[in-house]
Amino acid sequence: MRRALHGLPDGSTLPENLWRRRHTALLTLLWLHAPALALFGLTRGVGVRHGLVEGGIVAFVAVAATAAGRYSTNRHLLATIVALGLLTSSATIVHLSDGAIEAHFHFFVMMSVLLLYEDWLPYAAAFGYVVLHHGTVGVFNAGSVYNHQAALDHPWRWAAIHGSFITAAGIANIVNWRLNETARLEARAASNRADLSDVRFAAAFDNAPIGVALVAPDGRWLNMNRALIAIMGYSREELLAMDFQRITHPDDLEGDLDQVRRVLAGEIDTYELEKRYIHASGRVIRAQLNVSLVRDSAGGPLYFISQIQDITNRRQLEEQFRQSQKMDAVGRLAGGVAHDFNNLLTVIAGYSELALHRVTDGDLSAERDDVRDELEEIKNATGRAASLTQQLLAFSRQQVVRPDRLDVNEIAGTIEKMLDRLIGEDVSLTVMLDPAAGTVLADAGQLEQVILNLAINARDAMPDGGTLTIATAAVELEHALDGEHGRVEPGRYVLLTVADDGTGMDAETQARMFEPVFTTKEPGQGPGLGLSTVYGILEQSGG
């Protein structure tokens, strides 16, 4: 029984303010019936006293309902009092009309009005009132309820007939109420879930450890979390009054706007870049920016989600670390160069002394060939010293550069014969030149040195022989490439590949391969400037 009652609609899902408005409307309707019934009685010729009594009964119920509303908030009680008052009004109209069938429609109208409560209890009270009224009054004063003989002869039967119709209507109404109540509960639950989801999202958004912002397609800040406010140094109100363009470093703005245009055009879905912002204090902030676009159901842009991480301190630490590495490299470079130059100077000094001895004390004509050999060694030593100096200049980017528009294929073809002699008989050389590779703006001597240094490294990595491959190709970069050793902007490039099938490098060696004077070769086999020189030349040439 309790479960059945619990399943009936009780109007509890109606918000309080809505229930109050409906109750006030029905209470007002009850009050209006009191004078209306008195006037109706006068028109029916029942006399003033009788009419006032009929209207007074309804007025008494209205007073009771009004008074109960001041001392109680029980919806069932208040609604039931009003329901009994309205059904009393219906019964009075039927009595005053001598049981006219048309007057009975007032019962149905009032039953329909009570639907506004969406509560089974007042509705059940009204239903019981109809059945009992038609049955009891129909027995003791049938003429005041019915105006046809069949009902006069069998008042309880016709009470049941009236009750059955009221019951059918009641069942339909209760089902409808229950469906409405269920739908309202589900909507409220969905709203609560949405509110909870919004609260959780807002908490996650505002407490994120990195800056997060919603940005309009035109660049205006729409919302931002506390981390972003702390990064930029502006208040929330100040940021909401400006766009991101205003606080972007002028040198970084065009690149950022270009990516924004590409996202809006649908060319890319997201983008990321490192850029600089201007802090409220005027200092420059370095930030890692990740951006994605949220679109509406029709595909139109709504807003950007921007994630901004302050990497200023990280970049400063990296720069300090690079400076430390550079100073360490300079120290090792100085030691290595001093050692190599000392060896060269020893050769030059030794052969010079021998040559001078022969010229001074010996028979110059008899020892001419020996003197020539010694002078050749001096010349070779000075040549090696000059080569070492050129590598140092290339590494330090102090070498005099004469850039020209060069055909990479032509440069590679020119030094192919030299490489054949240089790499030895155990290494075979394969050259694959793409006719569409194109030209580059570079210094011819530097470009040759790049190929030679890479080829020598490849040769030394194949002590048992192998294949050295040199290839060229044309490539088009659609996006910038950010690598450990720098950034390459989008555009057309010539790809120069020098490959071998030698021993290769482990991860630790790869991490240090561009360090100056770092070498895996035996002492005396080179100063360790080969790859660092290549790196310096390529960076200087925009590669």
Could you give the CA distance from residue 52 to residue 39 in angstroms, rounded to a whole number? 8
CB 291 within 8 A of CB 304: yes
DSSP string, 306-361: EEEEE-HHHHHHHHHHHHHHHHHHHHHHHHHHHHHHHHHHHHHHHHHHHHHHHHHH
Q: Which residues pair with 309 in a beta bridge?
A: 288
Q: Is 474 exposed, middle or buried (0-12, 13-18, 19+ CB in 10 A)?
A: middle
Query: What SS3 state is found at 289?
Result: strand
As given in the structure block, the two tokens for residue 470 are: 């040199």
Could you give the CA distance from residue 310 to residue 257 in angstroms, rounded to a whole number? 20
Residue whose entry in the numeric block shows the structure tokens 């003791």: 140
CB 284 within 8 A of CB 293: no
Per-domain residue ranges for the chain? Answer: 2-188, 211-310, 316-396, 404-504
pLDDT of residue 4: 47
pLDDT of residue 48: 78
Could you give the CA distance from residue 538 to residue 441 in angstroms, rounded to a whole number? 11
Could you give the CA distance from residue 132 to residue 240 in angstroms, rounded to a whole number? 70
DSSP-derived pairing of the beta strands 427-432 and 466-477: parallel
CATH class of 211-310: alpha beta
pLDDT of residue 343: 59
Q: Quote the distance between the C-alpha of residue 256 and its chain's center.
A: 17
C-alpha dist (Å) from residue 187 to 95, 178, 382, 470, 535: 45, 14, 91, 70, 65
Taking 3-state DSSP, the helix, strand and coil percentages for the chain, each rounded to the nearest 5, stand at 60, 15, 20
- Domain 211-310 matches domain 404-504 at the CATH topology level: no
User: Amino acid identity, residue 409?
Assistant: N
Structural element, H or E, at residue 503: none
C-alpha dist (Å) from residue 131 to 114, 128, 216: 17, 5, 67
Could you give the CA distance from residue 259 to residue 274 in angstroms, rounded to a whole number? 12
* Sign (positive or negative) of CA dihedral 433, 424, 538, 289: positive
Angle at 261 between CA 257 and CA 264, to 5 degrees: 135
pLDDT of residue 262: 92
Q: Quote the distance between the C-alpha of residue 260 and its chain's center.
A: 15
Instruction: Give the ranges where 362-415 is alpha helix by DSSP (H).
Output: 368-396, 408-414
Helices (H) and strands (E) in the chain, counts: 19, 12
Q: Which residues pair with 542 in a beta bridge?
A: none
As given in the structure block, the two tokens for residue 253 are: 């703005």
Is domain 404-504 given the CATH code 3.30.565.10 in the classification? yes
pTM of the model: 0.40
pLDDT of residue 1: 47
Could you give the CA distance from residue 239 to residue 243 in angstroms, rounded to a whole number? 7
Q: pLDDT tens per residue, the chain (543 residues)?
A: 455 455 566 677 778 888 899 989 999 998 998 898 888 888 887 777 887 888 888 889 889 989 998 888 888 889 889 988 999 888 888 888 877 777 878 887 888 888 788 787 888 888 778 777 766 776 666 666 666 666 667 767 776 776 677 777 767 776 776 677 677 667 777 766 766 666 676 777 888 888 888 899 999 998 888 999 999 999 989 999 999 999 999 999 999 999 999 999 989 989 999 999 999 999 998 999 999 998 988 888 998 999 999 988 888 887 777 766 666 666 565 555 655 665 566 666 666 766 666 666 655 555 666 666 666 666 666 766 666 666 555 555 555 567 788 888 888 877 776 677 677 778 888 888 888 888 888 877 778 778 877 887 778 778 788 888 888 888 888 777 766 656 777 888 888 888 888 777 777 766 666 666 566 565 545 555 667 677 777 777 676
pLDDT of residue 32: 92
